[in-house]
A and B are shown apart, each in its own frame.
Chain A
Amino acid sequence: MTTSSKRVPQTMTEKILARCSGRDSVRPGDEIEARPDVVISYDFPGYTDVFFKEAREEFGVEKVSSPERYVLFIDHMVPAASPKEEELHRGTRAWGAAQGVPVHERKGIGHQVSAELGYATPGAFLVHFDGHVSQLGAFGAYAFGARKGVLEAYVSETIALRVPPTVKVVLTGALQPGVMARDVFHHMVRVMGPSSCAFKAVELAGPVIDAMSVEGRQTLCGQAMFLGATTMLVAPDARTREWLQGRACLDVPAVQPDEDAVYERVVTVDVSALQPIVVVPPSPANTRDLSEHVGLAVHAGYLGSCASGRLEDLRIAAQVLRGRQIQPGFQLHVVPTSQAIMAQAAREGLIETLVEAGAFISSPTCDYCYGRIATMADGQRAVSTGTLNTPGRMGSVDSEIYLCNAAVVAASALEGCIADPRPYLEAVA
């Protein structure tokens, strides 16, 4: 038992990083070497293939130490469309087999499947090349996109980092019908600013979070980078524990923030009056009210990605589309985030509803997000639940991407223009 005089109040971020760096406590700005509980990677040309090569050739690492601390996902270029792509996957499978590192393939987008496999254990420290891994923070893990720094985790036990200050964001009010986690996140970017949390960790709290599904929390946390944050976390609660029942696979102590933890800043964002939003090109910083863009012609819709292709997204899209037909010529692509989600959607009849409405359904893959599949031509415009709206992200640089929630994608598919889903949802209710 720590004596009260020595006790240092800490945020979740500080507690997790303290444990992983072998210290009793850490402070923002401390330079630490922290041992990740799991190193998560996806295979993509220039990422893992390079790490494997550099680890061996530059550092002489023939075998990673403690292979149980690594996991690989094949979720891009699935299925392969060229011999070269398949060759990359073959290399990843071979490396995993030789190292004793699990390779999960065709199970879904790795950030989601990581959670399904239980790596998102509350209190865990997880690293990845890719920043969207922050969505595992929805389960109370510290999940951090270390970029090239992941190489460090391949060749040593630890990774060097500076302990970030923590910003606490308290979300108050209650969401109106048709307003989803996606809208909440982009509203946060609008009111707080796209660099408001630069180099900081964000811990979410408040009645909106308490009432929000685990999936909604994943959506929020996965987008942390667009607030500049290194990651985003939610304190585990009964909802988290229920979701993780039988899944959590790491033996680490769950953490809660101390009530007297020192935050760099506490920001309160009231979402009571929030309406559905749309994020207009060319930047994820450009949050607008949906109403400003209703009626703008769109040609394609993408409902999927690590940000928003989970069951609640598919369910609300099915509510909007049930018994209706999408506009002829409109390309609606629905891509459940994982195979488990797709199977459950099938059991619930959602797939049938979506297909009958005219949607094209694909097995989970990252490929729609970056235009490898369903590429747009010059002058086309999409509504999308993907992560990014940079020109060219989904095809031609002369095409446009409007980011929005799943219900907006569905309603827009019916009307062939950006549409408000709420009348359709009211008709269902």
Chain B
Amino acid sequence: MTRLNNLRGRVAWVFEEDDYDIDLIVGVRNIKITDLQELAGLVLADQAPGFAATVQRGDLLVGGRNFGYGHPHYPAMRAMRHLGVAGVVAESFSPGFFRGEISMGFPLVTCPGILGAARRGDLIEVDWSAQQVHLPTQGRALPIEPLGASERGTLEAGGLIPYLKARLARAPATPGAPHD
């Protein structure tokens, strides 16, 4: 079993609002757009024109409590991934959003205290083995909440499809079977 790679990048954006509805990232009017290039160009266009050009591969997003509240449609994070965003570190997540994005192999890191600690442009590192988020710019480290076994397995595999393939290859799933 592979281990999770640590995440290291800059804080590309801080969503300060609690209960942030991620549809607002691309705008509800745009959530049916399937062209990723087009969608990526619309990310945060209302809040920060030109945002897309500022993102570097490996950058992370920071969010508040219950990030992903509402109907957790996929276009916002698909667009973010296309720009190179590697994950979200938030105070907490809404369950539907959490389950949906983890299934895409996209790391979501629950880290109470992150909102008050991280600023846009800061370096940020998620250290899975130490179960910490490091903020070297601020000289701080904060503990993260552990993932469940299937969540971790899904991230390690790179998403639900490879995870399921590996699981089904080991043993056809049967009710009650333990799984790692």
**A58 and B165 contact, CB distance less than 8 A:** yes
Min Cβ gap A202→B in Å is 12
Query: CB-nearest residue of chain A relative to B100?
Result: A147
Residues on A with beta carbons closer than 8 Å to the beta carbon of B168: 59, 155-156
Please tell me if B173 contacts chain A, counting CB pairs below 8 Å: yes
**Bound complex: CA of A260 vs CA of B148, how far in Å?**
27
**A195 and B94 contact, CB distance less than 8 A:** yes
Query: CB-nearest residue of chain A relative to B75?
Result: A46
**Bound complex: CA of A195 vs CA of B18, how far in Å?**
9
Decide: A149 near B160, CB < 8 A? Known: A161-B150, A195-B69, A198-B94: yes
**B150 and A162 contact, CB distance less than 8 A:** yes
Give the interface residue-count category, chain B.
Answer: 35 or more
**Bound complex: CA of A151 vs CA of B99, how far in Å?**
13
Please tell me if B142 contacts chain A, counting CB pairs below 8 Å: no
B 36-73 binary contact with A (CB < 8 Å = 1; else 0): 00000000000000000000000000000110011110
**Bound complex: CA of A31 vs CA of B180, how far in Å?**
8
B 1-29 binary contact with A (CB < 8 Å = 1; else 0): 00000000000000000110101100111
Residues on A with beta carbons closer than 8 Å to the beta carbon of B95: 198-199, 225, 228-230
**A285 and B175 contact, CB distance less than 8 A:** no
Decide: A152 near B18, CB < 8 A? Known: A58-B165, A157-B173, A396-B29: no
Please tell me if A373 contacts chain B, counting CB pairs below 8 Å: no
Q: Give the contacting residue for A34; candidates B72, B172, B175; CB below 8 A.
A: B175
B 133-150 binary contact with A (CB < 8 Å = 1; else 0): 000000000000000111
Q: Give the contacting residue for B96; candidates A22, A58, A147; CB below 8 A.
A: A147
Please tell me if A23 contacts chain B, counting CB pairs below 8 Å: yes
Please tell me if A21 contacts chain B, counting CB pairs below 8 Å: yes
**Bound complex: CA of A46 vs CA of B29, how far in Å?**
17
| Chain A interface residue count, Cβ-Cβ cutoff 8 angstroms | 49
Question: Do most interface residues of chain A lie in helix, strand or loop, or is the interface mixed?
Answer: loop
Please tell me if A300 contacts chain B, counting CB pairs below 8 Å: no
Query: CB-nearest residue of chain B relative to A395?
Result: B29
**A228 and B165 contact, CB distance less than 8 A:** no
**Bound complex: CA of A146 vs CA of B103, how far in Å?**
10
Please tell me if A105 contacts chain B, counting CB pairs below 8 Å: no
**A152 and B160 contact, CB distance less than 8 A:** yes
**Bound complex: CA of A199 vs CA of B94, how far in Å?**
8
**B66 and A228 contact, CB distance less than 8 A:** yes
Interface 9-residue window, one of A309-317, A384-392, A406-414, A417-425: A384-392
Min Cβ gap B72→A in Å is 7
Please tell me if A131 contacts chain B, counting CB pairs below 8 Å: yes
Residues on B with beta carbons closer than 8 Å to the beta carbon of A21: 175-176
A 20-48 binary contact with B (CB < 8 Å = 1; else 0): 11110000000111110000000000100
Min Cβ gap B88→A in Å is 15
Q: Which of A251-309 contact B (CB under 8 A)?
A: 282-285
Q: Give the contacting residue for A390; candidates B24, B93, B99, B164; CB below 8 A.
A: B24
Decide: A58 near B161, CB < 8 A? Known: A131-B96, A285-B69: yes
**Interchain Cβ contacts under 8 Å between A and B, 7 examples:** A156-B164, A158-B174, A195-B66, A198-B94, A225-B95, A283-B69, A397-B27
Residues of A whose CB lies within 8 Å of any CB of B are: 20-23, 31-35, 46, 54, 58-59, 131, 145-149, 151-152, 155-158, 160-162, 194-195, 198-199, 225-226, 228-230, 282-285, 387-388, 390-393, 396-397
